[in-house]
Amino acid sequence: GVAAVTLATFVVTLAAAMGLLLWPQPPARTIGLGPFTAQVFIDPLSITLLLLVSFLAAVVSRYSVNYLAGEPRQGRFAKWLAVTAGSVLVLILSGNLLLFTLAWVATSLSLHQLLTFYGDRSAARAAAQKKFVISRLGDACMVGALVLTWRSFGTWEFSKLFSLAEAMRASETPSESLGGISILLVCSALLKSAQFPFHSWLPDTMEAPTPVSALMHAGIINAGGFLVVRLSPLIASSPAALNALALIGAFTALFASVVMLTQTSVKRSLAYSTIAQMGFMMLQCGLGAFALAVLHLVAHSLYKAHAFLSSGSIVAMSRSAWVPAGR
């Protein structure tokens, strides 16, 4: 089943990481046959995130086997869980902006299928639709950055884009197109990471099954932070983009932390905690502390996955304790 596949993916990723430590490879590599080729970007950031996402996918998929046992649509859930995890892995390995954008959109669309697992719940459908609209805004920003990048530089390859951005900084020649690209990328990251004022969809998605919440809060919500860190050579060239990240992230962190204290539902409280943590991560990126943001991302992912899976188990135990004897 999907639990075995995700576990095998984690083992393969772990072996690949060990191999890369022993035999370093160039950051950008092209793989494929004939016209079906794609460039992958392998560096410490991608290896770290590959290990993290594959491990979380293995844990969440194994948890969902027991959590959803007996559900009539468990097979559909497992299928979309695998597609979502695979999309995130492709996003991490992307070596050019086109593949990155395609994986970015695929991650959002496959997550939408998981959020509508309980299609008979009106609250779940409403939350999924709100998230769908906000995600499409983020996708529009990504596509805009994609088009502007091609028109400005004639390439989507990260290695070439980073070299061009570094050359512009060294020559101190300002580029309006690079500033526009950075702003669009930052907007997409802020929308993906549920930053103020587009944060309300995240607490509303608590109607989804607990494994979905764990995967979303521990993995997918971090895609915005990963976007900023991966494309930091481009974004760091725009002071306006960095200032926007710092200001919006700081306000969101403060705002969501206060709101979290007022919540009576465990899962909604954890959701506002995630919004606040994403705000801290955006603040770190805005201040240029990209390495610290990666450390924050990994620590928050592991903590939040454990928190959601534990809360799901406690809620299930509490419900079973209230079932009258003999029923």
* pLDDT 10s digits, 92-146: 988 888 889 999 999 888 888 888 777 667 777 787 788 888 888 989 999 999 9
CA dihedral 98, 102, 108, 110 (to 10 degrees): -160
More confident residue, 74 or 156: 156
pLDDT of residue 16: 77
pLDDT of residue 154: 83
State both tokens at 50.
Answer: 């590959």
pLDDT of residue 246: 92
- Measured over the CA atoms of residue 175, residue 241, residue 235 and residue 154, the dihedral's sign is negative
pLDDT tens sequence across 207-238: 777 778 787 777 788 888 899 999 988 888 88
Predicted confidence band at 326 (pLDDT cuts at 50, 70, 90)?
A: very low
pLDDT of residue 41: 79
User: What is residue 38's three-state secondary structure?
Assistant: strand
CA distance 308 to 215: 9
Predicted confidence band at 327 (pLDDT cuts at 50, 70, 90)?
A: very low
Predicted confidence band at 37 (pLDDT cuts at 50, 70, 90)?
A: low
Predicted confidence band at 25 (pLDDT cuts at 50, 70, 90)?
A: low
Is 158:41 a contact under the CB 8 Å cutoff? yes
Is 110:82 a contact under the CB 8 Å cutoff? no
Buried b (16+ CB within 10 A) or exposed e, 12-25: ebeeebeeeeeeee
Tell me the pTM: 0.86
State both tokens at 100.
Answer: 């990155």
**pLDDT beyond 90 at 283:** yes
pLDDT of residue 174: 62
Predicted confidence band at 186 (pLDDT cuts at 50, 70, 90)?
A: very high
**pLDDT beyond 90 at 251:** yes
State both tokens at 153.
Answer: 């530089």
Is 94:100 a contact under the CB 8 Å cutoff? yes
